[in-house]
Amino acid sequence: MSVLGERVDPEASSNWTTGLRTRLQRTVPPGQILPDRQPVYVASWIYVFGVLSLAAFLVVLGSGGWLALGGVTWWHTSSVGHFVNSLHLWSVELFFAFMVIHLWGKFWMAAWRGKRALTWITGAVAFLASIGTAFTGYLSQSNFDSQWISTQAKDGLNAVGIGAWFNVLNTGQMLLWHVVLLPLAVGVLAVLHVVLVRRHGVVPPIDADVEEPT
Amino acid sequence: MSATSVLADGAGSYVHWGVVQISVTNLIIIGVMLVVFVLAIVLPFPGNRRQRESEDQR
């Protein structure tokens, strides 16, 4: 709306808000952000593992936030701390198991078909970022295990020449990477991935008789 | 007994296959994931039959 009350043409407007709104509206087709109906081929267990990965990721974030509230001495000494620590570990284990099965399913479906290359790429990069997050999690345990892993990791990372960029022996740096930088990267990539899935729709089976953009 | 072998005690069983070395635990987990993957493809999804029947009745 302009100050006079008439509607502004979004195409003609240079207003940032209008431009962003138009962009968001164009990103996902109307009604596809949270659809309540899906094509019949989606009624298969193999299509469940993407959302299972997301559910596990939310438990990882929740339990990780809880650990951050209590702190190191709490998760090492109290029974509730031990429980939340285990909850964080096992939700990560399930997150990776679900994500890998999702990856296998999508690989054998050739899920990059129908202009879905960016969906595939964001998923693959999110997987790599998740591995980095998990590895820095090992370094953040603050026990002999994390000390052992960090000394082994620094040799491997220095051998491939990336030890100059970060120091796995620096517990403070690795803890901050684990609780801020890498979860943020995984979260942003996961949101982008889901938005792209909603934009292009779920990939049909290879032999499905559906019209797809080439 | 050397110090290294003492440290390695209780570190779990490993399977050696050429250059590949993997713990039995990880091997079992990968095996279970493969089984879940196959089951996810093979097992019918609940509600799918009901939906098809209701669409056939229309």
Predicted local distance difference test score (pLDDT) of residue B1? 47
**Predicted confidence band of residue B9 (pLDDT cuts 50, 70, 90):** low
- DSSP per residue, chain A: --TTSPPPPTTT---HHHHHHHHHHHHS-TT-SS-S---GGG-SGGGSHHHHHHHHHHHHHHHHHHHHHH-HHHHHHSHHHHHHHHHHHHHHHHHHHHHHHHHHHHHHTTTTTTT-HHHHHHHHHHHHHHHHHHHHHHHTS-SHHHHHHHHHHHHHHHHTT-TTT--TT-HHHHHHIIIIIHHHHHHHHHHHHHHHHHHH-PPPPTT-------
Predicted local distance difference test score (pLDDT) of residue B22? 94
Searching chain B, which residue's CA lies closest to the CA of residue A98? B33
Query: Residue A141: is its pLDDT beyond 60?
Result: yes
Q: Which residues of B touch A104 (CB under 8 A)?
A: 37
Q: How much of chain B exceeds pLDDT 90, in percent?
A: 55
> A95 at the B interface (CB within 8 A)?
no
Predicted local distance difference test score (pLDDT) of residue B2? 54
Q: Is residue A101 a contact partner of residue B36, using CB atoms and an 8 Å limit?
A: yes
The answer to whether the complex's ipTM is over 0.85 is no
> B49 at the A interface (CB within 8 A)?
no
Neighbours of A2 (CB within 10 A): 8
Q: What is the rounded average pLDDT of the residues A165-193?
A: 95
> A105 at the B interface (CB within 8 A)?
yes
Predicted local distance difference test score (pLDDT) of residue A12? 62
> B7 at the A interface (CB within 8 A)?
no
Per-residue pLDDT of A14-50, as tens digits, reads: 789 988 888 888 888 877 788 888 888 888 899 999 9
Choose between A76 and B52: higher pLDDT: A76
